[in-house]
């Protein structure tokens, strides 16, 4: 595991990042002078991704995972906070200065049906990034394309080079998208739900490709709502709720000893491969609130099964927990009850 | 049942066996006379040799469901899992008689002792929605955007049960309460509800006529874990409260385990294994089941995942031997020539594989080690990682 | 929708094609297959009229502005469609007038699509304030009534064919602009376009490689539809007496006959042929344009929910299982 390396000088460092969307008011709202509503999609998030490390970001939809990814990729403006990539501050770089950096940080998207231009053959899709960045001549690019395809399990590449996306299966498309991202040999890959639309039988293949890349030194930020996927691939885990990180730590530790009530609920409802073992799942009522109306105090309190009065008043920050990870400053949770709860839970196991 | 059955041919008027009285006989148009079989009263559904073919636009034919047998007791929850395209939805649509004109169907579907497939649409219509109802794949995105949810739930009531406006409205509120939608939401439009709420509404719609059997096609795909858990819990509680039998189709094995008592695994249009949920995941017998289990990530078992190499066979051509043979790590010579049949082994486990049937290695290693069963077939991905 | 490695043609056959089949040949055959008999008919008629426009003057039996008999002489073997208010042969005028009508129709359609397409693409792609300003301009053009604009432009710029093309183009570009803008905006949101931007592609590159090729088919369909509008508009302008007085056109024929008292003389043959010609060609262009548009906008076929005409099939003997 590469936490030590990551900690010394992380590949990606995000510090107190915030981003929001301004919703358009309808004419009637504007006339009534109702205030423009602001969705605070990302509300003060700090995270790091080290080299050769897979970091998972989990949370329900609407928790702001994708907005965070977009903001890190500078596709959406940051309102507050800082993004540092390989030691360089990129929060406010202009698009011209960003271009060379884009080569080193790539993103893959959830929907393999959508992420490839339907009119481009695989060859053109994968070589497009090379063309954009003016890498290699024609022959060299062809080589690089074949290499990237092979690395993604599309072997032999000749079988795929001349196909259009509609002639590929979903798993193969996703691999082409990964290959296109890898052709530039990036250092950081942000994968937004890369397997959630794939069949189980294919899912493992794509995840194995990502795992192989991690071993060759790539830093991966894996965004997913499936805790099981995160558990089996990530070194570290961040749990996001309503624009904030509510718990973070080494993946196995967060999953085996979840400390924030939200994480605990997530872990308990994640279906296991074997029929329900252990306690009943703790199904939270209702849904994640709309980010235009963030509840005061702890933003989780309306759904929190153990909320107290104090939770309505104070907004807990991430704090280290007792225990191995917490002692090393690795396992943190943002809940006023977290340390106690965790002790209780460990003894009950 | 044998011989060609044309739905448009006149039904034989001489019907020696009276149709059993159904509780809703007054509501239903009387089912056409069908052969009556004395079935054990706990048995609700018996599917025998269900086949579905699709005529393809470019010519040729696709054998999407290739002889499926299923049994379901009253109030039982059965899971149906398998890869995309293995015919899960098609099988359900066949049970509902909702296949398009390009489809042809063969086989028996015995519901409560009578073969509802015997005369095609004619014999299915009286049972559709009243006894067998379905939540379609993607139903939550299929609501009419310009009508309120309440209106859309009321519509089948007015149509199938000819309820008055007021009675339909009362029933809608009852249904919404049943699925946990606050009554006030009845007046909302689909886009004003979250995905989870819309899925609940789709379930309410299916329950409108009080069916005995609910077919749910991927009801939680595309929902978040927490919402998924809510919907699955709803299905279980509905099944328990209403004595509703449930067939839950999903590609997500872990989700199925939370709901189903028994699970049938489909591959290339066939059921290849059927077992109690616990058994199936702990000791999968069919190599395909074992491979599926090994490809499924689990929260606490950090075993490396193995994908299943290759792809399911095309269902356009006649299949020789075992459909899984090209991807199977335990393929034997016989597998390529003779199709295995679904049969019980010495322990009473039901699976369709030549490893079954007293051969010495018929017991596969349990789940985590189930890997071993597929390893030889997965170098494709293993080598790279 | 979930996906596996099963993506043989069967699976794809079940999917609504969200985008065009990309291979040019496949795309063409796909389009052709989607074409209904009506569209074929429309295309055939359009081809016929184009042909007439090409060779009309060559096959016209008489010169256009030559008095060859009595005013309003009724149809006869030597003048199958009779003579008009100037004693000119109606058939000859019809054949020659086809050229003007078709040229004006085609050119004006192209002009309006060029203007509208450019503005639509820029507004849709750049967005923000540029979009706001361009769309405001479009709105102004949209609310200006056509006829006064035509009258004023004809008065100001003079009544030659080129000016008429420009006037019609100026009137009709707004529809195309709005349509293309909407399309470009939705394309901008497509993941593959966003992906290209994140790869570091410049705006111009994204526009030319990913967006313009995607809206081109729509532009073509729209051009064909616009031809119908433009031909109609040309007729209309001529009918108002604002057309080019020196070249014969269908609109000019109708206008001069009506002005010359064709109704009074019951000379239907002087008015109906050009009227019918305009109607038919406008109809044909509309059929083709709509057909193209339809085949570019595949809608979801929710087949299984509606149709229940599946058949039962006996199993051959007591097949397979026992
Ligand atoms: N109307 C149709 N016409 C032709 N082929 C069809 C039709 N409907 C389904 N098929 C084919 O039948 C096979 C089984 O499809 P089906 O939809 O039942 O699979 P599934 O198991 O439900 O898959 P998924 O998990 O993706 O929903 C597939 O090969 C599919 O392409
Ligand atoms: S602070 Fe209170 S409301 Fe928030 S998670 Fe902890 S216990 Fe629940
Ligand atoms: S019958 Fe043979 S090929 Fe088929 S699953 Fe069993 S062992 Fe594998
Ligand atoms: Mg399906």
Whole-complex ipTM: 0.77
| Atom of ligand 3 minimally distant from the CA of B335 | 2
Q: Which of C194, C200, C208 to substitute to test the interface with A, most A CBs within 10 Å? A: C200
| Atom of ligand 1 minimally distant from the CA of C3 | 26
Least confident of A20-24, B223-227, C211-215: A20-24
Residues of chain C with C-beta less than 8 angstroms from the C-beta of A94: none
Low-confidence ranges of chain C (pLDDT < 50): 1-23, 298-308, 316-322
pLDDT for B274 beyond 70: yes
Cα-based angle B286, B292, B293 (whole degrees, multiple of 5): 90
Q: Report the pLDDT value the prediction gives residue C254, as an integer from 0 to 100.
A: 83
pLDDT for B369 beyond 60: no
User: Does C5 fall in a domain?
Assistant: no
Please tell me if the CB atom of residue B353 comes closer than 6 angstroms to any atom of ligand 3.
yes
Q: Report the pLDDT value the prediction gives residue C224, as an integer from 0 to 100.
A: 85
Least confident of A63-67, A194-198, B352-356: A194-198
Residue matched to tokens 């049938």: B264
Mean pLDDT, rounded, for B333-344: 89
Q: Report the pLDDT value the prediction gives residue B212, as an integer from 0 to 100.
A: 93
CA distance B150 to B169: 8
Chains that touch A (3 or more CB pairs under 8 A): B, C
User: Does C6 fall in a domain?
Assistant: no
| Atom of ligand 2 minimally distant from the CA of A311 | 2
Closest residue by CA, ligand 1 atom 22: B89
Number of other residues whose CB lies within 10 A of the CB of residue C299? 7
CA distance A102 to A75: 11
CA distance A309 to A317: 17
Nearest CA in chain A to B296: A200
Q: Report the pLDDT value the prediction gives residue A282, as an integer from 0 to 100.
A: 78
pLDDT band at B309 (very low <50, low <70, confident <90, very high): confident
CA distance A123 to A138: 12
Mutate to test the pocket of ligand 1, among B87, B288, B323 (most ligand atoms within 8 A of CB): B87
Q: Do B314 and C320 touch (CB under 8 A)?
A: no
Nearest to B220, CA basis, from B265, B177, B262, B256: B256
CA distance B194 to B143: 13
**What's the per-residue H, E or C state across A263-320?**
HHHHHHHCCCCCCCCCCCCCCCCCCCCCCCCCCCCCCCCCCCCCCCHHHHHCCCCCEE
Total count of domains within chain C: 1
Range of the domain at C86: 22-300
Number of other residues whose CB lies within 10 A of the CB of residue A315? 15
Q: Are B384 and A208 in contact (CB under 8 A)?
A: yes
Mean pLDDT, rounded, for B87-91: 90
Q: Does B314 touch chain C (CB under 8 A)?
A: yes
Q: Report the pLDDT value the prediction gives residue B371, as an integer from 0 to 100.
A: 35
Q: Report the pLDDT value the prediction gives residue C317, as an integer from 0 to 100.
A: 39
Structure tokens, A180: 């296109």
The better pLDDT of the pair A107, A28 is held by A107
Q: Report the pLDDT value the prediction gives residue B364, as an integer from 0 to 100.
A: 38
pLDDT band at A327 (very low <50, low <70, confident <90, very high): low
User: Does C315 fall in a domain?
Assistant: no
Helix axes B149-161, B195-206, angle to 10 degrees: 10
Number of other residues whose CB lies within 10 A of the CB of residue C259? 11
Task: Give the percent of chain A with pLDDT over 90.
Answer: 26
> Which of A24-38, B294-308, C105-119: highest mean pLDDT?
C105-119
Q: Report the pLDDT value the prediction gives residue A82, as an integer from 0 to 100.
A: 93
The better pLDDT of the pair A245, C215 is held by A245
Mutate to test the pocket of ligand 2, among A294, A295, A301, A308 (most ligand atoms within 8 A of CB): A301
User: Does C306 fall in a domain?
Assistant: no
Which domain CATH number covers C62? 1.10.3720.10
Nearest CA in chain A to B255: A271
User: Does C51 fall in a domain?
Assistant: yes
Q: Report the pLDDT value the prediction gives residue B311, as an integer from 0 to 100.
A: 78
Chains that touch B (3 or more CB pairs under 8 A): A, C
Number of other residues whose CB lies within 10 A of the CB of residue B162? 10
CA distance C238 to C257: 12
What percent of the residues of chain A are helix, what percent strand, and what percent coil, each to the nearest 5?
A: 35, 20, 45
Q: Are C147 and C240 in contact (CB under 8 A)?
A: yes
User: Does C206 fall in a domain?
Assistant: yes
Q: Report the separation in Å between the CA atom of B346 and the middle of ligand 3, taken as the mean of its atom positions.
A: 18
Q: Do A170 and C199 touch (CB under 8 A)?
A: no
Q: Report the pLDDT value the prediction gives residue B356, as an integer from 0 to 100.
A: 79
Cis upstream peptide for B86 (omega within 30°): no
User: Does C280 fall in a domain?
Assistant: yes
Task: Give the percent of chain B with pLDDT over 70.
Answer: 81
Structure tokens, A64: 């702001």
User: Does C290 fall in a domain?
Assistant: yes
Q: Report the pLDDT value the prediction gives residue B181, as an integer from 0 to 100.
A: 87
- Among B83, B98, B107, the residue with its CB nearest the CB of C6 is B83
Please tell me if the CB atom of residue B91 comes closer than 6 angstroms to any atom of ligand 3.
no
Nearest to A251, CA basis, from A46, A9, A53: A53
The reply to whether the predicted model has a pTM over 0.90 is no
| Atom of ligand 1 minimally distant from the CA of B90 | 18
Mutate to test the pocket of ligand 1, among B64, B79, B99 (most ligand atoms within 8 A of CB): B64
Nearest to B329, CA basis, from B276, B296, B365: B365
Question: CA of B204 to nearest chain C CA: how many angstroms apart?
Answer: 18
Mean predicted lDDT score pLDDT of chain A: 83
**B93-124 pLDDT per residue, tens:** 999 888 888 888 999 999 988 898 888 888 88
pLDDT for A4 beyond 70: no
Residue matched to tokens 């529809």: C175
């Amino acid at each position: 595991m590469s936490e030590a390396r990551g900690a010394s000088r992380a590949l990606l460092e995000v510090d107190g990042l915030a981003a929001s969307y301004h919703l358009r008011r309808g004419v009637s709202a504007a006339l009534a002078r109702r205030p423009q509503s602001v969705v605070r999609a990302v509300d003060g998030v700090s995270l790091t991704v080290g080299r050769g490390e897979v970091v998972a970001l989990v949370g329900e939809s609407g928790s702001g995972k994708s907005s965070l990814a977009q903001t890190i990729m500078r596709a959406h403006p940051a309102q507050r906070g800082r993004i540092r990539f390989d030691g360089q501050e990129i929060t406010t770089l202009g698009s011209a200065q960003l271009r060379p950096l884009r080569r080193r940080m790539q993103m893959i998207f959830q929907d393999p049906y959508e992420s490839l231009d339907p009119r481009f053959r695989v060859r053109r899709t994968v070589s497009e990034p090379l063309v954009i960045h003016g890498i290699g001549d024609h022959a060299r690019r062809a080589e690089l394309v074949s290499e990237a395809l092979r690395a993604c399990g599309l072997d032999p590449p000749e079988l795929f080079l001349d196909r259009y996306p509609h002639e590929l299966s979903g798993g193969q498309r996703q691999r082409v998208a990964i290959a296109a991202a890898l052709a530039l040999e990036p250092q950081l890959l942000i994968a937004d739900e890369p397997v959630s639309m794939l069949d189980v039988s294919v899912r493992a293949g794509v995840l194995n490709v990502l795992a192989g890349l991690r071993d060759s030194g790539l830093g991966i930020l894996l965004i997913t709502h499936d805790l099981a996927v995160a558990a089996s691939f990530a070194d570290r885990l961040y749990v996001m709720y309503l624009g904030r990180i509510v718990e973070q730590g080494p993946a196995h530790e967060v999953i085996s000893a979840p400390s924030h009530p939200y994480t605990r609920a997530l872990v308990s409802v994640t279906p296991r491969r074997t029929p329900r073992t252990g306690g009943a799942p703790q199904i939270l009522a209702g849904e994640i609130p709309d980010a235009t109306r963030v509840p005061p105090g702890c933003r989780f309190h309306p759904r929190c099964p153990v909320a107290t009065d104090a939770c309505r008043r104070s907004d807990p920050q991430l704090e280290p927990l007792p225990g191995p990870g917490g002692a090393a400053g690795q396992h943190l949770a943002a809940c006023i009850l977290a340390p106690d709860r965790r002790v209780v839970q460990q003894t009950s196991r | 049942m044998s011989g060609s059955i044309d739905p448009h041919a006149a039904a034989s008027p001489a019907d020696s066996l009276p149709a059993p009285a159904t509780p809703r006989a007054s509501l239903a148009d009387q089912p056409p006379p069908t052969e009556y079989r004395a079935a054990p009263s706990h048995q609700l559904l018996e599917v025998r040799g269900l086949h579905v073919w699709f005529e393809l636009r470019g010519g040729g034919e696709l054998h999407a469901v290739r002889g499926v047998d299923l049994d379901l007791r009253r109030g039982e929850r059965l899971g149906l899992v398998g890869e995309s395209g293995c015919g899960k939805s098609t099988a359900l649509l066949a049970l509902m008689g909702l296949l398009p004109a390009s489809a042809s169907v063969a086989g028996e579907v015995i519901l409560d002792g009578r073969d509802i497939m015997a005369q095609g649409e004619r014999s299915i219509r009286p049972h559709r929605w009243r006894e067998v109802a379905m939540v379609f794949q993607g139903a939550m995105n299929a609501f009419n955007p310009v009508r309120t949810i309440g209106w859309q739930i009321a519509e089948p009531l007015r149509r199938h049960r000819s309820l008055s406006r007021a009675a339909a409205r009362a029933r809608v509120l009852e249904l919404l309460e049943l699925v946990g939608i606050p009554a006030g939401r009845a007046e909302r439009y689909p886009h004003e509800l979250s995905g989870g709420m819309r899925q609940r509404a789709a379930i309410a719609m299916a329950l409108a006529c009080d069916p005995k059997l609910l077919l749910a096609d991927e009801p939680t795909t595309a929902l978040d874990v927490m919402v998924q858990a809510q919907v699955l819990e709803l299905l279980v509680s509905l099944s328990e409260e209403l004595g509703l039998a449930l067939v839950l189709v999903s590609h997500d094995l872990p989700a199925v385990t939370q709901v189903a008592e028994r699970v049938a695994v489909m591959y290339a249009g066939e059921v290849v294994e059927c077992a109690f949920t616990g058994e199936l995941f702990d000791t999968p017998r069919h190599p395909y089941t074992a491979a599926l289990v090994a490809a499924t990530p689990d929260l606490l078992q950090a075993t490396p995942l193995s994908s299943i190499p290759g792809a399911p066979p095309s269902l356009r051509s006649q299949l020789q031997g075992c459909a899984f043979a090209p991807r199977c790590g335990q393929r034997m010579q016989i597998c390529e020539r003779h199709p295995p049949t679904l049969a019980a082994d010495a322990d009473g486990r039901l699976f369709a594989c030549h490893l079954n049937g007293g051969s010495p290695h018929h017991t596969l290693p349990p789940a985590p080690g189930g890997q071993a069963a597929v390893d030889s077939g997965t170098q494709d991905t293993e080598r790279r990682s | 929708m979930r996906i596996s490695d099963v993506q043989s043609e069967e699976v794809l056959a079940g999917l609504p094609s969200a985008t065009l089949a990309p291979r040019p040949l496949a795309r063409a055959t796909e389009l052709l297959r989607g074409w209904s008999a009506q569209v074929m008919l429309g295309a055939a008629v359009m081809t016929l009229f184009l042909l007439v426009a090409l060779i009309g003057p060559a096959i016209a039996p008489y010169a256009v502005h030559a008095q060859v008999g009595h005013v309003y002489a009724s149809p006869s073997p030597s003048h199958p469609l009779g003579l008009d208010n100037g004693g000119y042969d109606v058939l000859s005028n019809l054949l020659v007038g086809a050229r003007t009508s078709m040229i004006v129709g085609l050119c004006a359609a192209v002009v309006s699509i060029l203007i509208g397409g450019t503005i639509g693409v820029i507004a849709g792609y750049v967005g923000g304030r540029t979009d706001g300003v361009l769309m405001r301009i479009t709105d102004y053009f949209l609310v200006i009534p056509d006829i006064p604009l035509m009258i004023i432009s004809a008065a100001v710029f003079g009544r030659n064919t080129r000016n008429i093309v420009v006037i019609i183009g100026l009137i009709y570009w707004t529809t195309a602009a709005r349509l293309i803008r909407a399309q470009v905006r939705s394309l901008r949101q497509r993941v593959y376009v966003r992906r290209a931007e994140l790869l570091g592609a410049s705006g111009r590159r994204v526009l030319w490689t990913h967006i313009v090729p995607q809206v081109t088919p729509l532009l073509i369909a729209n051009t064909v539809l616009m031809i119908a509008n433009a031909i109609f508009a040309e007729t209309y302008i001529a009918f108002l007496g604002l057309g080019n007085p020196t070249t014969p056109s269908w609109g000019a024929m109708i206008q001069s006959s009506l002005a010359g008292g064709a109704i009074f003389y019951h000379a239907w043959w002087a008015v109906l042929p050009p009227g019918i010609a305009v109607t038919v060609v406008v109809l044909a262009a509309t059929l083709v344009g709509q057909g193209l548009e339809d085949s570019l906008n595949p809608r979801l076929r929710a087949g299984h929910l509606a149709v229940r005409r599946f058949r039962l099939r006996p199993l051959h003997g007591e097949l397979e299982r026992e």
